Copies of this chain bind each other. A is one copy, B any other.
Amino acid sequence: MTATKPAARIPALTGAMLIGAQDVHGEHGEVRGVDPRTGQALEPAYGLGGTPEVERATRLAQQAFPVYRATTPEARAAFLDSAAGNIEALGDVLVGRVVAESGIPEARVRGELARTTNQLRLFAATVRAGDWLGARLDTPDPTRAPLPKPDLRQRKIPLGPVAVFAASNFPLAFSVAGGDTASALAAGAPVVVKAHSSHPGTSELVGRAVRAAVAEHGLPEGTFSLLFGAGRELGTALVQDPRIAAVGFTGSRSGGLALVEAAARRAVPIPVYAEMSSVNPVVLLPGALAEKGVALGAEYIASVTTGAGQLCTSPGLVFAVDADAAATDSFLAAATAAVRQAPAAAMLTAGIARAYREGVDRLSARPGVTAAAEGGTDESIDACGRVGLYVTDGATFLADESLRDEIFGATSLVVRVRDLDQLREILDGLEGQLTATVHAAESDHPAAATLLPTLELLAGRVLFGGWPTGVEVGHAVVHGGPFPATSAPATTSVGTRAIERFLRPVSYQNVPDALLPSELRADNPLGIRRRVDGEPGRI
């Protein structure tokens, strides 16, 4: 990486939690970042919080809520822009720390940093545009018989303070100031983040950048807090805290479901938006295999090995419709060659690498599953992940439910599927997914057309060609999908629709103009788009 001297304004790491404006050193044990390439523990140690720190943070968030939610769209957007700018200003210091704590190559980290700041700015623009307010006005009719028609106006308000659980695999984009935090802050909700223990230094740097923006804009300190905690104790306390109104989470299925259960047990249950588990099936139709099987093989492994396979959208299952065995063989030969050339990579943590090896061992031991190729190893890497490619057939896949399980890492399974009927049977048996992809040549279009309705019921994002890794942050993206891909299939955790998760509509009946929230007043002082009697675009 580029060796640039950190600017003076970049704070030194302290190992503290950020609870409102205070630095708080937790006393419930400690954790350090570990360089997964070397296994070396990094300075400083981070003190872990417990229930008292959860309460302190959520109390501040509760106090901040009435003030923060009443900010104008412009004020809120300016705050988000400042947060983006402050994170950007961390520059090489931040990039270096992410690389050290995650083993993610520098180029990818720089891309993720840009994505993170762009995402904050996209939400700033979204807040300014005001469509998220969902403003609706129904014209009254005092003369209507038998009952006058009331003046009804509707807007959306934030649910309340939001708890965000940072993910391990995107130390920036799905972490302290990632999509969940950005969309919750955009909605007008104070945020309490539980940092991921695998990148505490990254979390502190980004947390301080957000906190600085809170201070610059004169917002209540409780608008943002950052906690560290081990195991599930602090997280459970956070979800069960009565001041928390919603939860954003990206991580494992077991972790997500534990939070869903904890939220359901509350006196007042709250929504948990958990993005969990997905194997991201890819269908290769016969024409595509025949036309470009070799190219597909190489592209496939490039997607599998991206991020050492630790992406939510990594293609874990490929269904090759085996109409022409030679074409499938060519695809597999190309994929096999690519795997053999794939170097070993550092995984995010030693624990993830261990779980990965166990998953691969389980897969390779299944009857009817053949190892096609393995990538290189590198004993100098501590949390080493070796690329793997396995092959089976449709009948074996249908008979063995364990083959549908996600292996978090760069191993993927190719299933040679007899025909479209067997493919359909297989797809009908899959769980909900973040993505589903089909590769089709022109000659495959009739078959693809019959598959698309199945794929759209299976996943939140349907791809035609290409590979599922890489999630575009925009207006039309869905990063979500049926259970267990997420706990809330009607939502997305990426893209501008993510703000909707933290809002609810309120209707105002016959409220005098001067007392209405400004977005609903007759003169529309915010100049936002409003729906009048069901018709959009009118004032």
Contact = CB atoms under 8 A, between A and B. Distances in A.
A80 interface: no
B531 A448 contact: no
A509 B512 CA distance: 46
A269 B487 contact: yes
Contacts of A131: 536
Contacts of A269: 260, 483, 487
Contacts of A271: 490
B268 A483 contact: yes
Contacts of A456: 157, 506, 508
A516 B392 CA distance: 32
Given A264-B264, A445-B514, A534-B496, A138 B476 contact: yes
B138 A474 contact: yes
A129 interface: yes
A137 B476 contact: yes
A6 interface: no
Interface string A474-517: 11111010111001011110001100100111111111101100
Contacts of A160: 457
Nearest to A69: B453
Interface residues of A, number: 79
A462 B537 contact: no
A515 B464 contact: yes
Nearest to A270: B483
Interface in A447-483: 448-449, 452-453, 456-457, 459-466, 470, 472, 474-478, 480, 482-483
A424 B167 CA distance: 40
Given A511-B452, A529-B536, A506 B147 contact: no
B475 A534 contact: yes
A533 interface: yes
Number of this chain's copies in the complex: 2
A490 B159 contact: yes
User: In terms of DSSP, what is the predominant structure of the interface of chain A?
Assistant: mixed
Contacts of A91: none
A476 B157 contact: no
A480 to B, nearest CB: 8
A429 interface: no
Contact of A475 (B70, B453, B503, B533): B533
A153 interface: yes
B475 A531 contact: yes
A154 interface: yes
A126 to B, nearest CB: 8
B510 A453 contact: no
A150 interface: yes
A159 B514 contact: no
Nearest to A65: B457
A115 to B, nearest CB: 11
Interface string A110-154: 010000000000000110010100001110000000110110111
A432 interface: yes
A153 B271 CA distance: 27
Given A146-B111, A269-B483, A448-B515, A464 B432 contact: no
A453 B66 contact: yes
Contact of A515 (B153, B449, B483, B512): B449
Interface of A: 66, 70, 111, 125-126, 129, 131, 136-138, 146-147, 149-150, 152-154, 157, 159-160, 260, 264, 268-269, 271, 431-432, 445, 448-449, 452-453, 456-457, 459-466, 470, 472, 474-478, 480, 482-484, 487, 489-492, 496-497, 500, 503-512, 514-515, 529, 531, 533-534, 536-537
14 contacts: A138-B476, A147-B470, A152-B474, A152-B477, A157-B456, A160-B457, A269-B487, A445-B515, A452-B511, A465-B510, A466-B510, A478-B506, A478-B507, A497-B505
